Amino acid sequence: MERLLHLYLLWWLGLGHRLRHDLARELTFAVASGVLMATFFYVFNDFLNVQVATLSHAMHERFAQLASIAIMLISAASAATWLRQERLAAGGVRQMGRLLGENQATLTAWSWLYALTLLGLSHGLCWWVIARWLTLWSPQATAYQEGLMLILTAVVIRLPDAPGPKLRPDAPLGGHKGLGFTLYIWRLRQLLRRNRASQLSLVIGAIFLAFVTMSVLRGLPLFVAAVSALAAGYTSTGALYFQLASDLSSAWTERGSGVTHDRFVRTYTWLGATLGVSYALGALLAYLAGAALHGDGNIDASTIGQALQVAAVALVPGLIAPMLGLQIDGRRSGTNLLLLLIATLFIGTAVFAHWLGLALIPILGSFALKSQAGRFYRA
Amino acid sequence: MTTPSAPLHLLQATQLTKSFAPRYLLGPVDLGLAAGETIGVIGKNGAGKSTLFQLLTGNLDASSGEVRLDGHKLTPDTPQIKRMIGYLPQDPVLPRWATGREVLGYGARLYELNDIAKRVPAAEAYWDCGSYRQKPLSTLSYGMQKRVALALATIHEPRLLILDEPFSGLDLNHIKALEELLAQRRANGLTTVLSTHVTAFCARLCSRVWSLSDGHLDSVEPWLSLTHPQRERAIEDRFFGTPTAPVHR
């Protein structure tokens, strides 16, 4: 019992040391994010209220339920990932205890204690957020959802390690085609064919494009299609940040060959533009397809205008992501995604409100690119 | 008189310092590397060897002072100058899901080498990476990944090669291959700097040895006039601070 408590204390102390080590940076980021979000709601409050008022009560409820399900999925998957890491990682308390010859009963008790603490914290936070801001389910429904979350957590913990990708035979070595092209094509191939997190992001982005078509087919307000397009652009751009984190972990290979910060950022600017334009075109076609099916093939000028507006919104995340990727820490995809979310909400809403909102992108770029100058070498 | 256009040294560092608030300070360091030298750097864990190497490669901005390579000031924005250097970090992380062949091909393109189709297989052959060239790097052992990293650091035959603990994780065959490479580089007038905690490697391979302690770099003297066992003793004396007890060899 004493040794079990010792392990538990060791874990809490480790968590405390980690928090203390990063406290200044984490606090700065949290406060800056809070201020930006508050500013966003202050600036766009009236505009958003008008847009939200066009939605029916049932639609409101459905949005709240969808958001709740997304939070539950994220919570269950996060808890499962942490539990899995503790079970398998060499640096985990369990593995350390095992290597030091701790008996199996203590290790099993530790695993249960750790799991209960983690599930209590993550699922508790999840239910608090849902009940406070989104929707209030009955006790039976809550118990049912919690059961499903626990099953999902257990399934993720027990998943076997993913095998390596099946690689195709080597492409011919050939010659070089310019440094810029080499940097771009290497990343594009990694992002599309190798990096699993990036691949998942692109697929989720494509699913949101289907929501654009569905919203038009069901005759929902333009606002819903724009939100879906923004979500498509945002999630697909996540692929860029997952690849950036991977690139920075092995950045010595490129730094050594003389790749400059400017060249590195330019490559990501091209990649972001590629993803942004692809998903913007996807949103345009998805909207037009929905409109064609809804209106028996009739597409008028105003529909084309709306489709272009939706496409412009989808374009935003891809264009601004490279400006933000190295602002805090390019190796932390989660932090970058949160930063991108805030910037995307700002600029995406501005673009949806008026075309001139697109002018915000070069303005953001002129400041952001300066403030992250040289960070490829400091990451 | 040293001038940028006619340098006496291949690499020259002047009054180089790096501080990490609030405590750690490296330098000021003054050093010069001549063509054909093999320099060993010794020092305790955390003494600043890797920081010094990062400064010498231009991958880290110095707090003050400068590094000149072949007379040109070295910064992160001088690609043509940086390509004269090959660098192997202490922990050479490679892209997880790329293959060795792909990483070497990519590196060769970044260095804008002309004969990629010959260089890559040659580097694979020297470092014995050919048999696993199509496997994802994340599925390989540390030593196998390190050989790919060594191949990458040396594929462009750099004039200055900086190796941070290159022997760790290598088996005997590849330690021998690395020793042969260093000897060959020395014979060809190419310069190498390496850090290691194995005194025998310093004694056998290095024409000079520097000791880094409390942020300051000192040369271990005398060196060239000593036999290999005496060199090892000299390093141990420097490392432990006091002459060690006699060792029967």
What pLDDT sits at residue A174? 59
Share of chain A above pLDDT 70, in %: 94
Q: In this model, does residue B7 exceed pLDDT 80?
A: no
B95 contacts A250? CB cut-off 8 A: yes
Q: Which residues contact B48 (CB under 8 A, 6 or more apart)?
A: B18, B24, B26, B212, B215
Confidence tier at A171 by pLDDT (50, 70, 90): low
B169: left (phi > 0), else alpha (psi -120 to 50), else beta? left
- Are A170 and B102 a contacting pair at CB < 8 A? yes
What average pLDDT does the segment A16-45 reach? Answer: 78
Residue B165, Ramachandran bin (φ over 0: left; ψ between -120 and 50: alpha; else beta): left
Q: What are phi and psi of B129, to 5 degrees?
A: -100, -5
Q: Which residue of A has its CA nearest to B156?
A: A257
Nearest to A91 by CA among A158, A14, A145, A21: A14
Interface of A with B (CB under 8 A): 164-165, 167, 169-170, 172-177, 179, 182-183, 186, 190, 194-195, 246-247, 249-250, 252-263, 374, 376-378
Q: How confident is the model at residue A248 (pLDDT cuts 50, 70, 90)?
A: very high
User: What confidence tier does B4 reach under pLDDT thresholds 50, 70, 90?
Assistant: very low
Distance CA A172, CA B119 (A): 13
**Mean pLDDT of the B190-213 span:** 90
B71 secondary structure, DSSP code: T
CA distance A364 to A110: 49
Q: DSSP letter at B99?
A: B
Give the nearest chain A residue to B114 (CA atoms): A175
B13-39 tens-digit pLDDT = 999 998 877 677 787 889 999 989 999
Per-residue pLDDT averaged across B76-82, rounded?
82
Q: Are A377 and B76 a contacting pair at CB < 8 A?
A: yes
Inspect the interface and report whether the beta carbons of A167 and B152 lie closer than 8 Å: no
Contact A253 B152 (CB under 8 A): yes
Which range has the top average pLDDT, A45-49, B114-118, B177-181?
B177-181
Instruction: Judge: A165–B136 Cβ closer than 8 Å, yes or no.
Output: yes
| Chain B residues within 8 A of A173 when measuring between CB atoms | 105, 108, 116-117, 120
Q: What percent of chain B has pLDDT over 90?
A: 35
What's the pLDDT score for residue A62? 79
Distance from CA of B88 to the nearest CA of A (A): 8
Q: Between B53 and A299, where is the model more confident? A: B53
Contact A179 B98 (CB under 8 A): no
Mean pLDDT of chain B: 86
Indicate where chain B has its CATH 3.40.50.300 domain(s): 34-62+71-84+160-249
pLDDT exceeds 60 at position A164: no
The pLDDT score that the predictor gives to residue A237 is 95
| ipTM above threshold 0.90 | no
Find tokens 């996060």 and name the residue. A78
Q: Which of B6-10, B140-144, B236-240 shows the lowest per-residue confidence on average (mean pLDDT)?
A: B6-10
pLDDT tens track for A60-76: 777 788 888 888 888 88
pLDDT recorded at residue A162: 57
Q: Write the residue in B82, B96, B97 that is nearest to A258 by C-beta.
A: B82
- Residue A93 corresponds to which tokens in the numbers above? 């308390």
- State chain A's mean pLDDT as an integer: 85
Check A173 against B116: CB less than 8 A apart. yes
Query: Is 80 exceeded by the pLDDT of residue A316?
Result: yes
Q: What is the pTM of this model?
A: 0.82
Query: What's the rounded mean pLDDT across residues A122-149?
Result: 83
Task: Answer yes or no: is pLDDT of A158 > 80.
Answer: no
**DSSP letter for each residue of B31-49:** EEE-TT-EEEEEE-TTSSH
Lowest pLDDT segment from A303-312, B37-46, B74-83 = B74-83
Domain boundaries in chain A? 1-12+67-160, 182-371
Can you give the pLDDT at residue A157?
Answer: 75
Name the residue among A250, A31, A4 with its Cα closest to residue A103. A4
In terms of Cβ atoms closer than 10 Å to its own Cβ (0-12, 13-18, 19+), residue A339 is buried
Over residues A352-363, the pLDDT tens digits come to: 988 888 899 999
Task: Report the pLDDT value the prediction gives residue A208, as an integer from 0 to 100.
Answer: 94
A336 to chain B nearest CA, in Å?
A: 20
Q: How many whole angstroms separate alpha carbon A99 and alpha carbon B17?
A: 42
Question: Whats the size of chain B, residue-wise?
Answer: 249
What strand order describes the sheet that includes B216-219?
B85-88, B160-164, B191-195, B38-43, B208-213, B216-219
Q: Give the pLDDT band (50/70/90) at residue B2.
A: very low
Q: Do A246 and B78 touch (CB under 8 A)?
A: no
CA–CA gap between residue A254 and residue B109 (Å, rounded): 11
**What distance in Å separates the CA atoms of residue A166 and residue B15, rounded to the nearest whole number?**
51
pLDDT at B135: 86
* Confidence check: pLDDT of A256 > 60: yes
Contacts of B92 in chain A (CB under 8 A): 252
Give the CATH architecture of domain B34-62+71-84+160-249: 3-Layer(aba) Sandwich (3.40)
Residue A327 has pLDDT above 90, yes or no: no
Q: Residue B5: its pLDDT value, please?
A: 39
- Which residues, including other chains, have CB under 8 Å from residue A362's CB and lie 6 or more apart? none
The alpha carbon of residue B90 and the mean position of all alpha carbons in its chain are separated, in whole angstroms, by: 9
* Residues in chain B within 8 Å Cβ distance of A164: 97, 135-136, 138-139
Question: Does residue A277 register a pLDDT over 70?
Answer: yes
- Closest by Cβ to A254, choosing from B80, B93, B110: B110
The 10s digit of each residue's pLDDT in B168-179 is 989 999 999 999
